[in-house]
Amino acid sequence: MLDWAEAAVANPILAYGAILVLQLRVIWNVWRYKDLTPGDTSFYFLDAAGWTHGLHDNVIYYPLYTDIWGTLHAVLGDVYASGMVNRVGIIFAATGLMLAVMRSLLGPAMGLLIVVWWVLLPPNFNLVYDVHLFGLLPMLIAVLVVARRPGREAMGIALATLAAGAVLARNELILGALIVAVAILFREFRARGEDRTTIWVYLRAYGLPLVIAFLLVGAAYWRSHIQGHDVQAFLRAKHTTNLCEAYAVNYQQRHPTRFLGNPFTGCAPLMQHDFGRPMPTFFQATSANPRAMAGFVAWNGRLMESGLQLGLFGATATGDNPTYFPVQNHRSYALVLSVILLGAMLAGLVLVIREREQWLREWPRRGPAIIVLSAVAATSLFVALTQRPQPDYMYGLIVGVMALAGVCTAALLRQLRGYSVLAAFAVGLTAVLILALPSYYGSGPRPLRDGVKRLRVVRSALQRPGSVLIAGDNPDGTSLCNYLAYDFTRACRSITWSALTTQVSARESLAQVLASSRASAIYAEGPVENDPTLLRLLAPSQRFGWRQIATGSGSGGPWRILVPVRGG
């Protein structure tokens, strides 16, 4: 049976099939219960829709991600379906690449166990933003190339993958590309005296992959609706907005009584107070107030423990939240698992050091993969300290920790003479989980998906220039407009019902306020649906100039859609 288990884990068809079935088991029904993602992802859909309806993208905001989504949207023709296929595809791609990388680095049995661990962690499939996991794919490809075929050509492909990924997938990959480039230069200078490599060898190994990467980036720029001087302006705005929000959340955690506002919409006054300008860059902020920025980075360093626990165990043992969203805190099992993992890694490292002569002999084969994996881990660490240490910002570091844990555990098992049963344990654990593990997802409200589906009756009106949607606070009206858009030039503007009704006064009626806002449609759900002010619009004879065109009831309560009479 031990021989059979080793043959099973060594068989790629069985290993990849089993891990993908397990991943499917974990995320089963995600397409029935998961809502569309509000916020940033809805803005990415604008660029995806631009690719669907004209092959246009945005070179600043991850064009490969939006181009793939836009292609799926063109084929499927449905916002929710294309979003779910895109999400599930990214999850499966990351899982498959993780198994390929870990098999190459750790062997079939330990590689399978490490990826089972990966598959079970909610931050790796219950994604806040799909694009963050998408950004891991170039990292895994770069590591896989050099792990499978170490050598000059593989390093060139890895460098080009990270360089192209910095534009097409995740901007921070540029740091990983620079680290790999420095490692390549150091390696080639050392080898220069030992062989007589011609310039053509260098051009083929490094130049050709970089040229291909340059062509891919050039193609994305060619189809981008942001070009020229606007690229620099958008990059700066993206960077300063990220820093503003991250600093405000960080500051509010440290000083909850000093900053009571919304860190996402009210961060500019805080930045103005601390750094003398509302939207400074990282270097401007550091120059203006190094003490404040040191406190910002130090707090992120303190949150690293919680961020790693969340990324490795799905919960934290502390009371600190390393993300922008609620997480499971004060979980004792996270502390127990952390102690076990740390102890195993320390004991394993001692054994690895004792086996250093063997590792030095294997360095030509293992070294390139270790260099590239270290580069992407260092990139993630930099992002965590300068932005926020949430798991989806630290995928590269988490993968590196998992790989190191696999190396140390294997060393311990060899010392304890238990390595022979590792394959059987991996097969048995995977089989039990496939058969017994319940799906992570259960029934729940999907207000954004429901709103997009219901508002299809007025989609054409909301895609006209200058169109305005009046909606409640849940779902987010801006996200509704983005998901209903034709492309980035034909999206409606959203006004909340509460903001609209505050304008009603003795001098200005509701009908006048609606007319001045140039509202194209009203989407009322839940509490808004029963608002007396709204009910006045439903008076007979359409005397307020509005008529109801759709109504129903869902998980959020009754809902209705109204349009102006003049709009037909």
Q: What is the pLDDT of residues 97-152, one digit of tens each?
A: 999 999 999 999 999 999 999 999 999 999 889 999 999 999 999 999 999 988 89
Q: What is the pLDDT of residue 507?
A: 65
Q: What is the pLDDT of residue 198?
A: 81
Give whole-number Cα distances, 91 to 78, 98, 134, 177, 543, in Å: 20, 11, 8, 24, 52
Query: Residue 381 in 3-state DSSP?
Result: helix
CA Rg value for the chain: 27
CATH number of this structure's domain 447-567: 3.40.190
Lay out the sheet containing 521-525: strands in order across. 493-496, 468-471, 521-525, 557-564, 546-554
Helical pair 79-106 and 136-148, crossing angle rounded to 10 deg: 30
Contact 37, 130 (CB under 8 A): yes
Q: What is the pLDDT of residue 568?
A: 42
Kindly report the backbone phi and psi dihedral angles of residue 289, in degrees, each rounded to the nearest multiple of 5, phi listed first.
-150, 75
Average pLDDT, the chain: 91
pLDDT 10s digits, 325-365: 889 999 999 999 999 999 999 999 999 888 888 878 888 88
**Residue 44 pLDDT more than 60?**
yes
Give whole-number Cα distances, 199 to 190, 205, 206, in Å: 16, 10, 11
pLDDT band at 193 (very low <50, low <70, confident <90, very high): low
Distance CA 524, CA 510 (A): 15
**Residue 538 pLDDT more than 90?**
no
Mean per-residue pLDDT, 427-447: 94
Q: What is the pLDDT of residue 530?
A: 74
Mean per-residue pLDDT, 170-194: 88
Instruction: Report the candidate in 148, 141, 144 with the shortest Cα–Cα distance to residue 162.
Output: 141
Q: What is the pLDDT of residue 567?
A: 47
Instruction: Report the candidate in 148, 151, 137, 160 with the shortest Cα–Cα distance to residue 102.
Output: 148
**Residue 536 pLDDT more than 80?**
no
Within 10 angstroms of residue 117's Cβ, the number of other Cβ atoms is: 18
Distance CA 242, CA 255 (A): 20
Q: What is the pLDDT of residue 473?
A: 76
Q: To which H or E segment does residue 93 belong?
A: helix 79-106
Helical spans, DSSP H, in 260-314: 267-275, 282-288, 290-313
pLDDT 10s digits, 279-290: 999 999 999 999
Any residues with CB less than 8 A from the CB of 447 and at least 6 apart, and which?
35, 474, 475, 525, 555, 556
Mean per-residue pLDDT, 255-272: 91
Mean per-residue pLDDT, 61-84: 96
Kindly report the backbone phi and psi dihedral angles of residue 332, in degrees, each rounded to the nearest multiple of 5, phi listed first.
-65, -30
Segment among 215-219, 433-437, 475-479 with least mean pLDDT: 475-479
**Residue 439 pLDDT more than 50?**
yes
Tokens of 382: 């930099």
Instruction: Report the candidate in 287, 293, 321, 328 with the shortest Cα–Cα distance to residue 307.
Output: 321
Which residue is associated with the tokens 């890694």?
345
Domain boundaries, the chain: 2-224+308-436, 229-252+259-288, 447-567
Mean per-residue pLDDT, 185-212: 85
Instruction: Report the candidate in 467, 444, 466 with the shortest Cα–Cα distance to residue 455.
Output: 467
Q: What is the pTM of this model?
A: 0.94
